[in-house]
Structure 1
Amino acid sequence: MSSSFVTYKKYPTSEQAKYITNLLTKHALANEYIENKASLDSNFSSTILNDFEIKIEQKDFKKADEILLNDSKEYIKTLPEDYYLFSFSNNELIEVIQKKDEWNEIDYLLAINLLKNRGVEITSEDIEKTQKDRLSQLKKPEKSARSWIIVGYIIAMLGGLLGFIIGYVLLTQMKTLPNGERVYEYIESDRKHGKNILYVGIIFFIFNVIYILFF
């Protein structure tokens, strides 16, 4: 896998992910298919989360979006009458457009078409502004749970591996924005705590090793 590849999409089934990888490959866009059997969630609690990930180069995000949207245009014409998006209110459909990154391409296109059919015109300028606002919102780092910082310090002082992991995640965890840009997940003050927890963990680990070997 190329070191420049970053996460583009994640899907709950391998069939969905493999369809997209084949579609991207068909359009000569390099990609990587990955099966994730487990991950660490945003609160650092271990949980089994099966997902199927597609990675591409950051420079290809816009091209990939165009490929997927074009592929979805014909498919929305075949949707059944009871498809769930048909019951959405105008405000709910607008939210689908605003948070495009949380929905699939079919729902995004359908939301625009449904609004147009209801007399609510969504211009390309509106969409561009919405996407810029969404990126600005997603760029903002999150504040981690204070309890996990406290737990990290305590376990690090006990020489525990979990404290080291908490510190490392706080310091280095990054997220990929819809345009492929990578930014830090947590605010600067929490990242500083992460660095401190790492240092504390290393110092106390060494101390414990010395104590076990010589005392």
Structure 2
Amino acid sequence: MRSFRLFAEREDAERFIEGLLQGGFHPELRTTGQVFDVTFTAGVERETHVMLPVEEFVKAEVWLEQQTTASHGDMPPDHYLTGFTDVELREVVRDADAWAPHDRAWARTLLKKRGRSIDDDEVSRIRAERLEDLRRPEKAGTGMLLAAILMVLFGGFVGIVIGWSMRYARKTLPDGGRMFRYTEADRRTGTYIMIAGSFLLVATFMLLFGQGHR
């Protein structure tokens, strides 16, 4: 089971689960405790996850798009998607994990009206291409590396935490798969930062402890 959707309110998650159950899927509700993200890219006090078996991710996205066509009806004429370019609308369709199902369905409708329609095979292709792009590990930012080094030099512990994040942080892909977030080179750097931070932290404690007993 992997996290399929994240909700701020438990009631919203429960309603979402009811719909998935009607579609023949096997969701579960899971609430996590406080989350601390040392990369400072996310973080909420409570997270309510709708979990799904990995093999149901893609089918669930397709089913949600089909359902939204019936439940949301026609797109309002003043909807913000009407101001999107053709390229931007294709990105909405492609990035299934970033947009609501009705947005994706309406984006396809707009493209069709503009004579730029994309069929199901092309949708599958562009989503597969994006998935391959997401499978490429990220480079840790220069700011993150500098922060880790400075924290190691001026205290150790926070630097160790950042190093640990660089080494072990993972990301969840739209198909439910999980992989290490950062490149192998950055993960090695994270290991070195953890080692250096641990050494300096121990040395600092020994120095302070030794001075206290003189």
TM-score, structure 1 normalization:
0.82
Instruction: Say yes or no: does 1:29 pair with 2:26.
Output: yes
Q: 2:73 aligns with which of 57, 70, 77?
A: 77
Deviations 1:16-49 (A, max 9, x none): 43321222244351322436765427x4378667
Stretches of structure 2 that go unaligned for 5 or more consecutive residues are: none
TM-score, structure 2 normalization:
0.82
Instruction: Tell me if the contact between 1:24 and 1:31 (Cα under 8 Å) persists in the aligned partners.
Output: no
Per the alignment, do residues 182 and 45 of structure 1 end up closer, same or farther by CA in structure 2, a change over 3 Å counting? closer
Q: 1:180 aligns with which of 162, 176, 179?
A: 176
The alignment of Structure 1 onto Structure 2 pairs a total of residues equal to 210
Q: 2:158 aligns with which of 145, 149, 162?
A: 162
Instruction: Tell me if the contact between 2:25 and 2:56 (Cα under 8 Å) persists in the aligned partners.
Output: no
Deviation at 1:79, TM superposition (A): 4.4
Map of 1:210 onto structure 2:
206
Deviation at 1:52, TM superposition (A): 4.4
Instruction: Say yes or no: does 1:147 pair with 2:143.
Output: yes
Instruction: Say yes or no: does 1:94 pair with 2:90.
Output: yes
Per the alignment, do residues 49 and 81 of structure 1 end up closer, same or farther by CA in structure 2, a change over 3 Å counting? farther
Map of 1:124 onto structure 2:
120
Question: Relative to structure 2, which stretch is displaced further, 43-52 or 18-27?
Answer: 43-52
SS of the equivalent of 1:102 reads coil
Instruction: Tell me if the contact between 2:25 and 2:60 (Cα under 8 Å) persists in the aligned partners.
Output: no
Query: Which amino acid letter does the alignment assign opposite residue 34 of structure 1?
Result: T
Aligned partners of 2:83 and 2:8: how far apart in 1? 24
Per the alignment, do residues 181 and 48 of structure 1 end up closer, same or farther by CA in structure 2, a change over 3 Å counting? closer
Per the alignment, do residues 10 and 45 of structure 1 end up closer, same or farther by CA in structure 2, a change over 3 Å counting? closer
Question: Relative to structure 2, which stretch is displaced further, 194-203 or 108-117?
Answer: 108-117
Instruction: Say yes or no: does 1:114 pair with 2:133.
Output: no
SS of the equivalent of 2:73 reads helix
Aligned partners of 2:122 and 2:40: how far apart in 1? 37
Question: Relative to structure 2, which stretch is displaced further, 130-139 or 141-150?
Answer: 141-150
Stretches of structure 1 that go unaligned for 5 or more consecutive residues are: none
Deviations 1:149-178 (A, max 9, x none): 133123224443211110011111111110
Per the alignment, do residues 141 and 207 of structure 1 end up closer, same or farther by CA in structure 2, a change over 3 Å counting? same
Per the alignment, do residues 117 and 33 of structure 1 end up closer, same or farther by CA in structure 2, a change over 3 Å counting? farther
RMSD over aligned CA atoms reads: 2.7
Aligned partners of 1:87 and 1:51: how far apart in 2? 33
Map of 1:104 onto structure 2:
100
